[in-house]
Amino acid sequence: METLTLHARQRKLLYILNYKHGIITGKELSTQLGVSERTIRSDIAEINRLMKDDGIQINSLHGKGYCLEVADRLAFHHLFLEKENLQTKEDRIRYLLLKLINDNDWHDLGLLEDEMFISRTTLENDMKALKCRFSDRKPHLALLRRGTYVKLEENEIKKRNILIRLYCENWDYDSRDGIILKEDLINHEMLNQIRLVLKDVLRKYHIDLDDFGLIYMILAVAVSYSRVRSGFGVGSRTREGTLDLRSSGRSEAEALPLASSGTSANAVRQIFEQLHQTFDVEPDESEQRWITEILMQLCTQNFTDSKREAVLEHTSKTCALLVEQLLQELNSEYLLDFRMDGNFCKDMLLHVQALMNGIISIQLQSKYLAEKLRLQYPYLSCVAQYLCERLEQICELELGMEEENYLLPLLISGQKHDLEQKRGRGIQVAVASHMNSSLTGYFIGRLREAYGGRIEIQGPFPIYDRQRIDRAEPALVLTTAQMDAFRRFDVPVITVSPLIEAEELKRINDHLKRIEDDLLYKKFSVLQEASLREMDWLRIAEKPDIGEVLSVLADHVKASRGLDLNHDAEAYRHVVLKNKVVFFYTDQVKDADLSMDGAICKSTFSWNHYRNLRGVILAVLSDKKQLGRLLVLAEELSNFEGISVI
């Protein structure tokens, strides 16, 4: 096949289209890639030109968007071979890592420069990043250096753990063959043979794995065979002469309980026996023990018993203590009480156990789904970032954005459970109707259909019976008549038609959300709320960069409140709101009062991978507990409709 090189953005564009399973607009692609729609069209034209003869085309559907058509998956996978694409830092780190793993000899830096077509400075920076990611953290595979020569520590299990992780990062779930970084290490035929045997044996022994677990096992067995063929068996012995299966960095206190060792060992033994008939290689007992431990770890991740006691038996005591500590931190720091949420506790126990075992579930495609969730749940996005940083410290792993993407859905489900506990049987909603019984019954039915257990309906009450409505103590009143002319309530009153049109559903939903926010987040004092709502937006007429906007805001804060704030975006935590406003915040300013300042820009601007940004908010918190309520208010105030920039 002719060598075809796509630059990183074009490959990312193909990743997005491949994951989408349908049509995606040019505007969505523009936002996710951080470039203009014109650039998107240019990239698509270039991809179509290069891939025309290989059955890979990006089709443009007038008025709808783009979709990917792949007639030849092997040709598609060929585009992602690391040896053909070294434009980005990530590409180079992967290439360098595979080079050092696949050869135990010392490598001359000068030869690596020539081979990778990069400068010595770039190579040194790449090696620093590699060391930070894999040497300073688990699996703690040392990068050794002797003058201008480098090599990796000779620890086979650590190398294999890294290989499996690299392959998992580049797996294509839309294809049987997946995406492999290097064809000559693991080929598609090998993967297919292993897949068939694994599915048959796991079914026979009633071992259930999810998609990630099955793929991880396929890759682990493939790595075992390919490494043995290359002369690198896991039988590399420790100084004591015995196999050290804990060389991934896991301590004895963190070791996985071996409840399923018998079944797993028997299954792995049969897998190797069947594969021996296919491959001209016979791995020794140490290979089987290594694969058996991996299978037991994956079985723990797929443990389905929801009872906490059962989960505790399948995870280490260390993990239980760590999860308990994290739950206490979330409650004290962010007012999120998940301690009585059995599902959240179970999921976190299993996830932390997997991290302690060095197994990280990475799906690059999922980050595009997570980006949409971040816009919907900015507060929980901030919590996910905090939790990810804590897990990095605890597990000594580099996790980053992929881990935040994994944690965010767990936090969303956990908060929904927390909200259900706090609102009890539902938000009390009184229905006052002047309609006949049939229409009123239809009205109540529509409400139950739309909001289910989210509300508890009181009534229906007659319009003129104020005392009965008051006795119900509702949080919201829904009425079919204009009651505000002759009835005043201390709670919101919404007049709607029994048909409940779309706009009325939205109004009801907005009110319910405000009530739920009151249950979830710490309220501000009357003075704090009034002060924050009086926030004036600074107007910036020129098209700025993020540093200039922060400088303007920081100078304004210093002039108005005497606080010295950093002008550098990296000094703050941040989240992007749905109104295309970047919300920067800090709780590190000593003795500072709660404050929020904003800037609105005449022209949209870009920062990092965010595009079409319209404004910036700079917030100072005295307590993390204020963050949830502050983000709710920030989203409300950053609705720029009707605001002009002169």
pLDDT tens sequence across 106-128: 999 988 888 877 888 989 999 99
Torsion-angle region of residue 462: left (phi > 0), alpha (psi -120 to 50) or beta?
beta
pLDDT at 180: 58
Tens-digit pLDDT profile for residues 242-298: 334 444 444 433 444 444 568 899 999 999 999 987 887 777 889 999 999 899 888
Rounded mean pLDDT, 160-189: 72
Q: Which CATH architecture has domain 424-520?
A: 3-Layer(aba) Sandwich (3.40)
Identify which has the larger pLDDT, 587 or 280: 587
pLDDT at 28: 85
pLDDT at 252: 38
CA distances from 82 to 50, 89, 149, 181, 414 (A): 18, 12, 23, 5, 39
- Return the percentage of the chain with pLDDT > 90, whole number: 40
- What residues contact 153, with CB distance under 8 A and at least 6 apart? 141, 142, 143, 144
pLDDT at 250: 43
Q: Is the torsion defined by CA of 291, 190, 216, 358 positive or negative?
A: positive
Question: Average model confidence (pLDDT) for the chain?
Answer: 84
> Of 247, 278, 287, whose CA–CA distance to 138 is shortest?
247
Identify which has the larger pLDDT, 405 or 170: 405
Is the model's pLDDT at 320 over the cut of 60? yes
Give the H/E segment covering residue 76.
helix 73-78
- Give the pLDDT band (50/70/90) at residue 556: very high
CATH 1.20.140.10, domain 80-154, yes or no: no
User: Is the Cβ–Cβ distance between 461 and 431 less than 8 Å?
Assistant: yes
Q: How far apart are the first and last CA of the chain?
A: 57
Q: Is the peptide bond before 460 cis (omega within 30 degrees of 0)?
A: yes
Identify which has the larger pLDDT, 246 or 240: 246
pLDDT at 50: 83
Ranking 13-27, 108-122, 154-168, 404-418 by mean pLDDT, the lowest is 13-27
pLDDT at 86: 59
Is the model's pLDDT at 507 over the cut of 90? yes
Rounded mean pLDDT, 488-517: 91
User: Is the Cβ–Cβ distance between 603 and 569 less than 8 Å?
Assistant: no
Domains in the chain: boundaries: 8-73, 80-154, 155-302, 308-421, 424-520, 526-637
- Give the pLDDT band (50/70/90) at residue 238: very low
pLDDT at 383: 96
Domain range 526-637, its CATH number among 3.40.50.150, 3.40.50.360, 3.40.930.10, 3.40.50.880:
3.40.930.10
CATH 1.10.10.10, domain 8-73, yes or no: yes
Tens-digit pLDDT profile for residues 607-642: 887 878 889 999 999 889 999 999 999 999 988 665
Is the model's pLDDT at 178 over the cut of 80? no
Tens-digit pLDDT profile for residues 407-444: 999 999 999 999 999 999 999 999 999 999 999 999 99
Tokens for 441, please give them: 């019954």
Cα separation, 453 vs 420, whole angstroms: 9
Tens-digit pLDDT profile for residues 519-554: 999 899 999 999 999 988 999 888 788 988 999 999
Q: Do 80-154 and 8-73 fall under one CATH topology?
A: yes
Backbone Cα Rg of the chain: 29
